[in-house]
Amino acid sequence: MRSILLVAPFALMPFPALAQDADRELWLTGSVKVPVASGTVLELETVNRISDDSGGLYETELAGGLSHRLGDGWSLGGGYVRVVNRSRGVVTRGEDRLRIQIGRSTRLGAVQLSGRLRLERRTTSTGSDVGYRLRPQVKAALPLAERLALFASHESLIPLDRTDWGETGRYDRMRNMVGLSWKANRTLAIEAGYLNQYRYRRAGRRDTMDHVLSIGIGLTL
């Protein structure tokens, strides 16, 4: 029953009709957190995304930044992300992102609730415009055992302006995920689950739905 109550709010979110195009993907994430001062952590992350339709690895992200605890569950962070896009082994675009975000974490009974609002400044190798994008995310986790938890999350990606490299300044995509997280010890945590990504296409192209197996490994040093 508790598991149903946790997932229910995400199941009730408005969801678009079934997409005409679909893809199967694998997302692999690795992250490291290193304390550098009181309340401040250096965060490093790599994400590799693999797709059937793109013939293998199609996107790599390398990110680094700092996060600082403000108190009462609030945090403030920022950093840089380098993104490389590929299609069937050929590099098609490079992207540079600067980002800043504010986060909040709290408890509601046994459920751990967290959220963040991220703003990105984006430039790419395929255009000269600067684009800005908002990425709000919410997440709920319910303990199932001492080191095991069930979680569900939602993230929206919202470009704020038009660019000469393809952004239209309107709601772009949503990512809904459900999975399990396991804290092996004080240093190692593993998260895995199903992620559904729905992308709203432009210029008469059909919307797409990506069915993703997402696996993440995190180290806290």
- Kindly report, residue by residue over 105-159, the tens digit of the pLDDT: 999 999 999 999 999 999 999 999 999 999 999 999 999 999 999 999 999 999 9
Binning the chain into helix, strand and coil, the percentages to the nearest 5 are 5, 70, 25
Determine the length of the chain: 221
- pLDDT tens column, 159-175: 999 999 989 899 999 99
Strands 111-124 and 131-143: antiparallel
Write the pLDDT tens digit of every residue in 67-117.
999 999 999 999 999 999 999 999 999 999 999 999 999 999 999 999 999
